[in-house]
């Protein structure tokens, strides 16, 4: 049997069940309908045919308290089934560890580690763990079965998300990631549309904690050194480099890439192969989503830029700041807020009641009609006031952003067109003015520019000091030569030794000083022996 290691959408239901696989030839993900009785499947990208993987467990078989219904996913560690928990009479997602791996202690450790991670998570946006165990040689792990569709499936089906819908989804996942990180020190490390699901009740659920990493307390790192963890199209630069020192900002980067995909229908860095995509994550600037969707607001573009900053230090310093920015953007968007649904496009048609007949129309008195008219006018007045406040508030925020942007561009232009280091002091003052405006994005950019200037100033200062020390050393050499010419070798040697004890010189001069002292000792000895 050929076994395919891929990603699994292990909690989805709706229409035909489809698994997500990674083609062994082109390394691209694709969905395959597991309900079809096919022996061969074909990758839709590269057209390579491959054997359809047979389920580890047949339908109707039992694993402990669970009755197998059908396979719904295939992953790198095993398979996931829709099952019924017999004692509770409820559907569950049952993950089965592959039979070839149960002899490997490292894999078993990772399997139970996943259970421990999920067991700690009590959050409305995260799929809940039920239990883990084994019977015979079958190791299993059960989770709450959630009906719905993952975001990747919805995008593949042509679903278009409004800017507000996309931000609502991403904000819900950010809240789950904040909880996992701040309460339990857990990273997800594989945030992508396929791991985010929308239920029929319009709830957002984070799936697949199978490669999560616990970074606080118990730290079990089973990933081999130099091995990247994550999905290439959404992976952070630090994960692409296979660095071990990563934190919540890696998930933030991937979440920003996912937001880009939700808004544009395409990942930020498409490519023909994984290595090309990883290289683009490392080297290329964040693409402007407005090239694919011009109606996206500038604030959301800036949000994506900060979340996907190449250097993690340039991203939001905590989840709260990131989520607050999302909330501000949603508050400022003029479109009405619509809750995203997995059941189809937003704004499902409402049932309209039958028109009232003449016999059933209520008799409205004139006085009642007058009161109603007054109430309507009052409501319109309130709406106008609220609208005015909204417009003023939005205008003030836009004005602040425009002011900060103008000051920042002016400062950068001054830095680029004036000589160093004479321009440093004024440049710092100009960047301080940018920060005083209080606009988050340009304040952060100003801080980066200030750090660069201070670093340059320090290098120039250090170089200047070394030059002064070198000039002083040359003067000392001249004085030493005068003692040497007069035959006063002891004075010359003491002169260098006293200078060395003072320590007011660059340490790299030690070699030259010691060399001068050795030379003078040899000259002294030669003079005493009558040798010139």
- Secondary structure element (H or E) that encloses residue 201, with its range: none
Determine contact, residues 280/191, Cβ cutoff 8 Å.
no
SS3 for 129? strand
Q: What is the DSSP string of 58-116?
A: -TT-EETTEEEEEEEEE-SSEEEEEEEETTTTEEEEEEEE-TTTTT-HHHHHHHHHHHH
Rounded distance, CA 268 to CA 257, Å? 6
Q: How far is CA 379 from CA 364, 369, 483, in A?
A: 20, 15, 100
Going by their DSSP bridges, the two strands 196-198 and 149-150 should be labelled as antiparallel
Looking at the annotation, which residues are catalytic?
190
**In three state form, how does the secondary structure of 201-251 look?**
CCCEEECCCCCCEECCCCCCCCCCCCCCCCCCCCCCHHHHCCCCCCCHHHH
Rounded distance, CA 108 to CA 84, Å? 24
Peptide bond into 421 cis (omega under 30): yes
Q: How many CB atoms lie within 10 A of CB 466?
A: 14
Tokens describing residue 87: 């004692």
Q: How many CB atoms lie within 10 A of CB 307?
A: 26
């Amino acid at each position: 049997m050929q076994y395919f290691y891929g990603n699994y959408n292990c909690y989805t239901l709706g229409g035909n069940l489809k698994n997500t696989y990674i083609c062994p030839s082109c390394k691209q993900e694709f969905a395959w309908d597991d309900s079809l009785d096919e022996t061969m499947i074909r990758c839709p990208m590269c057209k390579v045919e491959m054997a359809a993987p047979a389920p580890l467990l047949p339908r109707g078989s039992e694993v402990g308290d669970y009755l197998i219904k059908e396979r719904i996913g295939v992953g790198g560690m095993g398979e996931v089934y829709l099952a019924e928990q017999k004692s509770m009479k409820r559907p569950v997602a049952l993950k089965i560890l592959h039979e070839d791996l149960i002899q490997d202690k490292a894999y078993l450790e990772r399997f139970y580690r996943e259970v421990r991670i999920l067991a700690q998570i009590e959050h409305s946006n995260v799929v809940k763990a039920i239990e883990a165990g084994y019977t015979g040689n079958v190791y299993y792990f059960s989770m709450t079965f959630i009906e719905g569709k993952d975001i990747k499936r919805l995008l593949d089906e042509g679903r278009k998300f409004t800017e507000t819908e996309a931000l609502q989804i991403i904000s819900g996942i950010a809240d789950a990631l904040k909880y996992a990180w701040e309460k339990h020190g857990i990273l997800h490390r594989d945030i992508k549309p396929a791991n985010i699901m929308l239920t029929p009740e319009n709830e957002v659920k984070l799936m697949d904690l199978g490669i999560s990493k616990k970074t606080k307390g118990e730290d079990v790192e089973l990933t081999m050194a130099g091995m990247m963890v994550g999905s290439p199209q959404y992976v952070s630069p630090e994960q692409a480099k296979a660095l071990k020192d990563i934190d919540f900002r890696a998930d933030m980067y991937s979440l920003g890439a996912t937001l880009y995909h939700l808004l544009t229908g395409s990942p930020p860095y498409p490519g023909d192969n994984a290595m090309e995509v990883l290289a683009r994550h490392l080297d290329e600037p964040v693409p402007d989503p407005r090239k694919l969707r011009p109606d996206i607001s500038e604030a959301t573009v800036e949000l994506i830029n900060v979340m996907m900053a190449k250097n993690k230090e340039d991203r939001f310093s905590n989840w709260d700041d990131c989520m607050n920015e999302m909330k501000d953007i949603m508050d400022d968007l003029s479109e009405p807020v619509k809750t995203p649904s997995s059941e189809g496009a937003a704004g499902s048609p409402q049932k309209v009641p039958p028109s009232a007949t003449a016999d059933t129309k209520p008799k409205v008195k004139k006085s009642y009609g007058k009161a109603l008219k007054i109430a309507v006018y009052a409501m319109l007045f309130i709406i106008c006031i609220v609208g005015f406040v909204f417009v003023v508030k939005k205008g003030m925020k836009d004005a602040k952003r425009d002011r900060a942007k103008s000051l920042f561009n002016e400062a950068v232009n001054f830095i680029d067109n004036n000589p160093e280091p004479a321009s440093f002091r004024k440049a710092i003052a100009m960047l301080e003015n940018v920060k005083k405006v209080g606009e988050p994005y340009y304040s952060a950019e100003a801080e980066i520019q200030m750090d660069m200037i201070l670093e340059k100033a320090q290098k120039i200062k250090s170089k200047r000091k070394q030059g002064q020390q070198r000039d002083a050393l040359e003067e000392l050499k001249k004085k030493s030569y005068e003692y040497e010419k007069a035959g006063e070798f002891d004075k010359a040697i003491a002169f260098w030794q006293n200078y060395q004890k003072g320590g007011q010189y660059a340490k790299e001069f030690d070699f030259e000083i010691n060399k001068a002292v050795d030379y003078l000792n040899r000259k002294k000895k030669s003079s005493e022996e009558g040798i010139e």
